[in-house]
Chain A
Amino acid sequence: MSTPYAKLPAWADYGLIPLINLFVAFVVAGFVVVLVGENPFRAAIILVEGAFGKGTGIAFTLFYATTFIFTGLSVAVAAHCGLFNIGTEGQAYIAGLGIAVVCLSFDSTLPWWLTFPLAIVAAAVVGALWALIPAYLQAKRGSHIVITTIMFNFIAASIMVYLLVGPLKPAASQAPQTRNFLAGAELPKLNWIIELFGAKIRSAPLNVTFLLALAMAFLVWLLIWRTKLGYEMRTYGHSPKAARYAGISETRIIITAMMISGALAGMMALNPVMGDQHNVAIDFVSGAGFVGIAVALMGRLHPVGIVLAAILFGMLYQGGAELAFEMPAISRDMIVIIQGLVILFAGALEHMFRPYIQALFASLSPRSVGMEAVKGKGA
């Protein structure tokens, strides 16, 4: 069978098409703003100003971006192996449990730079273990990973609600959350970096987890494109048959990929829990796992793209809060629509504009799309 689409130059493939898809998603979102009776251009200006206008805004944008880098990487690692990990949400949520155990045990005795590595390990291990069961079921019993990870999201939510209204809640408190962590489990802020550039920051939760996120983005790049394991994962993702023929163990590769994905999802919990709220509360993930799907798709599964897409979504979250303040008709739920539209146009409809762009490129310069070569093969 011929490949469905002829090749485009790399810059068009990785730059132009995602930008067009993104543009269309925002145009449709603009129509929703019009439907609500507001001016979409003014909304866009408020949004961008809210996100980047002041130092505090930038710090908040990067704080949200940190969360989305982790979940985006998590979805991307699984996707490279051909697995759709829709359970990022649940893996991050349950990882809060690991962090809670570490922080509640050591926050009075250890300094933050000892608690932090322990919490990283705990979050990663718990997240990975929560992904292990669906991975095992997919590899060994052929149950569809999408369905099992959805189910595991709900199971994780039930477990966390049970623990946070019961065993983990301090007896004197009414709020369904753990007690507040002491100084030993509070991560230092990174706001001084932005202040170096002369901006003023009142209080923003940007913290060292941001650096961890960037490091993880680099490690994921290393893993996927520079190691044997990454090569095997991509092979399996591209063609399970070819992978089997090459002697790659299906079970091993599925389980490894999903556990790495789960570990990355788990680390996401560090950012809000240790960097901002300093406790584990009900629903602290609040949809970040699902944002990861949009981020990964928009970043075309590449860490650089994911970091950029995460910053864009961080901008939407921060600017969206400002927007809700300025235009009461547009609450933060507008972001959910934009998120959905991005997933639709950058994900499910990613090839919609490709034929037209191909035709355009072909008319401008037939060589750039390899017209002769394709014709020669009789496609």
Chain B
Amino acid sequence: MDVFNAIVQTLDSTIRLSVPLLLACLAGLYSERAGIFDIGLEGKMLVGAFAGAAAASVFHSAFLGLGMAILISVAFAMIHGFASITHRGNQIVSGVAINFIAAGSTIILGQAWFQQGGRTPALQPGERFEAITLPGADAIREVPILGPIYAELLSGHSILVYLAFLMVPFTWWVLFRTRFGLRLRAVGENPAAVDTAGISVAWLRYRALICTGMLTGIAGAYLSMVQNGGFVKDMTAGKGYIALAALIFAKWKPVNAMFACLLFGFLDALSIRLQGSPLPIIGKVPVQFMQALPYILTVILLAGFIGKAIPPRAGGVPYVKER
């Protein structure tokens, strides 16, 4: 039973750790499917986390915090759009710039406004998203096997967790079952064809980036208002890049993205759980190896040893109308 409990707990923290990855990964999915590389996911998550925690603590409302997180994150996505769509700048350069501006400004403004060494004030109850107990969870907690799975694993998460997982089928539906999704995918593969059909390439890509900004905003809000009771400097700690890796790992597909993020979340949960205790057969695995594993796996995938990852064809190329 101990083993079973340990497994349930590890899976539970897998879910918690996967959520920011999943939201950021789906965010990247929208923009990359529309042909805009976005390595600024990290920065947008960071400003989202900061804006969310700051607004929640000032206005004493979790939902206002979430709204502010989304707003600021979308604003940063629009900077990326302005540089890479309107001015046809290098998308990677623009993404790098956004990451730096986010990293610096969250600390400077946080220090100037709250004077707590770059932190925001600790969020009080009501200012953060509380865990939701699913109906009947307490009633069946004592039931063996099923009880803990339902009560621990499925119930007791914040609303943003359920939202993140609902975004998976929703994103699939948007991309593969709506006209907007069809056009969005088309603009990532062959923008000239979309243009010929009389649809604005720029506006379509801007809309994709708005979706990206909204999702990174929610991801950031999750970090600062659910996982942690406030903003801490550099709290994204490379999650935006892991999400990018997950996106490639998922071959730019929403359902795969969920599994990739769960896998990377699981690796993270496992490395926290093991913390130096030896594994059967393999022996002691260095924590650093577990932490590097998502990156190593992505490189192996990119090298084409686990299937082939083919990015959207027009990705990274600014669209220039023939003159």
Residues of A within 8 A of B (CB): 1-2, 4, 32, 35-37, 84, 86, 133, 137, 141-144, 146-148, 150-152, 154-155, 158-159, 161-162, 166, 290, 293, 297, 329-331, 333-341, 343-344, 347-352, 379
Q: Are B109 and A36 in contact, with the CB atoms below 8 A?
A: yes
Q: Are B292 and A329 in contact, with the CB atoms below 8 A?
A: no
Q: Are B88 and A351 in contact, with the CB atoms below 8 A?
A: yes
Partner of A344, one of B97, B238, B291, B298: B97
| 8 A-B pairs (CB sep. < 8 Å) | A36-B108, A84-B90, A86-B92, A155-B292, A162-B289, A343-B96, A347-B93, A348-B83
Bound Cα distance from A5 to B107, whole angstroms: 39
| Nearest chain A residue, comparing its CB with the CB of B90 | A348
The answer to whether B190 has its CB under 8 Å from any CB of chain A is no
The answer to whether B79 has its CB under 8 Å from any CB of chain A is yes
Q: How many residues of B contact A (CB 8 A)?
A: 52
Q: Are A162 and B89 in contact, with the CB atoms below 8 A?
A: no
- What distance in Å separates the Cβ of A70 from its nearest Cβ neighbour in chain B? 19
Task: Give every chain B residue within 8 A of A1 (Cβ-Cβ).
Answer: 320, 322-323
Q: Top 8 closest A-B pairs, CB basis?
A: A340-B100, A336-B104, A337-B104, A348-B89, A143-B302, A348-B94, A340-B101, A158-B292
Q: Are A348 and B97 in contact, with the CB atoms below 8 A?
A: yes
Answer whether A343 and B100 are a contact pair too, CB < 8 Å, given A137-B302, A150-B241: yes
Residues of B within 8 A of A (CB): 37, 39, 79, 82-84, 87-94, 96-105, 107-109, 111-112, 118, 238, 241, 244-245, 248, 286, 288-289, 291-292, 295-296, 298-299, 302-304, 309, 311, 320, 322-323
Task: Give every chain B residue within 8 A of A2 (Cβ-Cβ).
Answer: 323
Answer whether A84 and B108 are a contact pair too, CB < 8 Å, given A148-B302, A347-B97: no
Q: Are B96 and A290 in contact, with the CB atoms below 8 A?
A: yes
Partner of A339, one of B79, B82, B100: B100
Q: Are B291 and A36 in contact, with the CB atoms below 8 A?
A: no
Q: Are A329 and B112 in contact, with the CB atoms below 8 A?
A: yes
Q: Are B100 and A290 in contact, with the CB atoms below 8 A?
A: yes
Answer whether A297 and B93 are a contact pair too, CB < 8 Å, given A159-B288, A340-B99: yes
Answer whether A147 and B298 are a contact pair too, CB < 8 Å, given A32-B105, A336-B100: yes
Decide if the interface of chain A is mainly helix, strand, loop or mixed.
helix
Q: Are B296 and A155 in contact, with the CB atoms below 8 A?
A: yes
Answer whether A158 and B289 are a contact pair too, CB < 8 Å, given A37-B112, A137-B303: yes
Q: Are B100 and A146 in contact, with the CB atoms below 8 A?
A: no
Q: Are B108 and A144 in contact, with the CB atoms below 8 A?
A: no
Q: Are B111 and A329 in contact, with the CB atoms below 8 A?
A: yes
- What distance in Å separates the Cβ of B243 from its nearest Cβ neighbour in chain A? 12
| Nearest chain A residue, comparing its CB with the CB of B309 | A143
Q: Which one of A86, A146, A330, A350 has the greatest number of beta carbons of chain B within 10 Å?
A: A146
Q: Are A343 and B97 in contact, with the CB atoms below 8 A?
A: yes
Bound Cα distance from A36 to B107, whole angstroms: 11
Q: Are B96 and A293 in contact, with the CB atoms below 8 A?
A: yes
Q: Are A333 and B107 in contact, with the CB atoms below 8 A?
A: yes
- What distance in Å separates the Cβ of B73 from its nearest Cβ neighbour in chain A? 16
Q: Are B286 and A162 in contact, with the CB atoms below 8 A?
A: yes
Given A36-B112, A162-B288, A336-B107; 18 other pairs, CB 8 A cutoff: A1-B320, A4-B88, A86-B92, A144-B302, A147-B244, A147-B245, A152-B295, A154-B238, A155-B295, A293-B96, A331-B107, A336-B100, A336-B103, A339-B100, A344-B83, A344-B97, A348-B93, A349-B89
Task: Give every chain A residue within 8 A of B292 (Cβ-Cβ).
Answer: 154-155, 158-159
